[in-house]
Structures are given as C-alpha cells and as structure tokens.
Amino acid sequence: MAAKPAKNRKKSSASANPMWGGHFARGPAQAMAAINPSIGFDKKLYAEDIAGSLAHAAMLVKQGILTREDGRAIEAGLKKIRKEIESGNFAFRESLEDIHMNIEARLRELIGDAAGRLHTARSRNDQVAVDFRLWVRSACDALDAKLRALQAALLAQAEAHAATIMPGFTHLQVAQPVTFGHHLMAYVEMFGRDRGRVVDARARMNECPLGAAALAGTSFPTDRRMTAKALGFDAPTRNSMDSVSDRDFALEFLSLASICAVHLSRLAEEMVIWTSAQFRFVRLSDGFTTGSSIMPQKRNPDAAELIRGKSGRVTGALVSLLTTMKGLPLTYSKDMQEDKEPVFDAAETLLLCVTAMTGMVEDMKANADAMRAAAETGYSTATDLADWLVRVCGIPFRDAHHITGQAVKKAEKKTCRLDELTLAELQAVDARITKDVFDVLSVEHSVKSRTSLGGTAPKRVREAIKAAKERWL
C-alpha cells in the first residue's frame, strides 16, 4: 500500500523517534526510515558498545555524577543485555536506528529511568568513535595472529626446501637459479612488514575518544583518563573535535589491509602458475582445489584464485572510505555512518584469505624434479659465466656480458645448455676461457655461490630462516 502524503500523516510526538521526540512532531518519511538506520551492520559493535558504556558508567559514579545505585543498576542491565545478544535472544529494532539506541532502549525496559542517566556527559558521536576504535583494534590483533601463522607455515616449507633448486624469474622469464626456500622467504619478509604496519597502526589508534561528547567536550567533571585506562587505551585523545570527526585509524587499517591483500594476491598468482600443467612446481590437495563439471581431469586452484580476486574487495574498501571522508567539514556528518561496512567487510575478507593461504602453504607438495628441470632451461647460469670471466680473466663486466651473449647464441643454435657446450666451442667465442669454467655453469654451483647477505645460497637461506623465527615467531 502506498504511503499517505506527509500532510495527511498524524502529527504526534509518539510517532517521532523516542530519543529526540521532544523537538520533532512526527516520524521520518518512508525513504528516510529506510536510509537512516545502521543497526543492520553496526550491531556487530554490541560488545564494544557495552564495554564503553560500562567504563563510562563506572567513571560517572566515581566522579559523583551518577549515584552508586544507578551505577549498579546500569552495570547489571548492560551485562544482562550482553547475555541476551550473545544467546540470540535480543530483538534488534530498526526503528531505533543503531546499536547505541537499541541497547539504551532495552536498558530502560530493564532498569527504568536510570538508563537515561547513562548518556550523561557523552554523545553518540564519541560513543561510536570509541566503539569503532575498539573493534578495529581487535581486528588488528586478529590479523597479526593470522599473519604469524602464515609466516610459520612459509618458514616450515622454506626450511624443508632450503636447497631445492628452482628458476628465479624476471618478467616471468627464467633469470637465475634460486632455491624454493629462498623464494618462499621473500613472502615471509613481506608478511613481516605487513605485521609491522599492523603494530604501528594499532599503536596510533590506541587513544580513547570517549568523553569528547558531541564535539566540544562536556561541562561535567569527567575523568577521561579513567575510561581510557579501563578500555585498554594508552591515553585519551587530545582534541574533542578531532576525536569525533576523523576516521584515519580506519583508513590506516584499510591501507595496511590493502597492502597485505596485494601480497596475498601475488602469492596466490604464483600458486596458480605453479600448479599448472606447464609448471607442475607444486601440487595442492583436494582440500584447496576443485574439479570441473565437464572436464574430469581438471584440478583447479580455486582457493588461490579467490584470494587473488578478493584482494579487489579490500582495496575497494579503502577507496570507498577515502572517498567518503575526503570532503567532510569538521566535525561529525552522517556520511560517516558509511565507515563501518567497508571496514567490516575488508577485515573479514582479509582474515579469511590469510587463513586459506596458510592452509594452502601447509598443504602444498613441492615437485623438486620439475623445479630443477625448469631451472636448467633459459640459460639461467649465463650470469655465472659472465661473473667468472670478470673474476678469473679480469675482463670488464660489460665485455664479459657481450662474450656471454655470444656463448648463449651458440647454445641456442645447438639447442643445448651452456654447460653442454664443449670447451672448444666456448674458446671459439673467447680464447681466455678454460676448462675451469664448467665448475660454475651448473645450477647447483650457481645457487651455492650466491652467498651475499640475503642471497639464495642454501646456507644463507637457513640463516635467514633462523633469524626470521627469532624475530617473528
């Protein structure tokens, strides 16, 4: 049935929102009633909202703003509401807009007028700011734990394959031999930096906005340090207007989440490549692959592909919130209600992706023979020949580079590896080459020779694994 025109609606304070009905004569328009509520998603903040209210009530009692009797009633009521929500027995009402008003309304049903005194010296503006910070802070802790588990899985595989030879690529072309362990350690470093960004962001966001009230602070003699300490913050925020108006903590979380998602996507892409029939570097079990409805031979790396695809959701969340915040004047605007959904979705998506990647890394089986065979293609030891010419023959590197290029050309014509050329064929390119050159042309020697700090030599890889365990696990 179509809604009646606004002029025909009954003008009654009872139809207005109970939280501000004293000023409004009637309720919202139908479209407003549809666009305004946030309870559909911000009910996720129930635990944080109750924690903030408990801390605020305790502070009001200590400061003599609230009686001990009211404080005890509020505490008991809030704890009962928390149990109701966690047991699934709480009736969320869209008409009450958000999690704050839903909890406050239920509290009034339970304890009467004392519930209305809980909101003394605060506003929904600082209330949602503290709730959201608490939630994002917990998301940081969860992400750090998940990334630690992923690093542990990568380190275990790297340790098992510290000397397993594979081709290293540039432009997805065979470049130089490396070890599989060394390759995996690159991702250990990436995810380590991701964890560093999590720690940094968490430290910056760990200031409490509760008590900033609507935007200007309050005239009540509150103790913001007490509520900050009770909620595990390092200190209160320093400016009431900034406290309620900025979401840089959420933006920073989405930024670090986006970088982490990109790292996951790169590893996922390598999983897709490595599991292909053309590479066969690794094999994933049934647990992280799917079949085809028409091609019975297929084993599709869907988990990796989904991780690669979901990175777009995380980076999209960052762009969404940046766009929402970019033109807002101080202080709070209702636009900021749009801050939570992208953060909630990005956090949940990223945590799932890290979990799935950890499972794939733990699950994958390396095909050392296929990796070794691939490393011997593409003249991957050409640089070793050039380095030998510089080191042994004293030839300038640019000249050695040219000589090596001629040797590669000769091998291409013969369709053989560099180490399969005869000494005479190499000396026809440059007479200074001796039989000792064959000591450096194997992929094993190439890998073992890369002993510089951070290099792919197995002994360096094992040192890096040991150091990484001490640093991150």
Query: Which residues are known catalytic residues?
Result: 171, 292
Give CA–CA dist 471/137, Å, rounded: 22
Backbone angles phi and psi of 5, in degrees to 5? -55, 150
Q: Nearest Cα to 323, choosing from 251, 243, 258? A: 251
Residue 383 is encoded by which pair of tokens? Answer: 């640089």
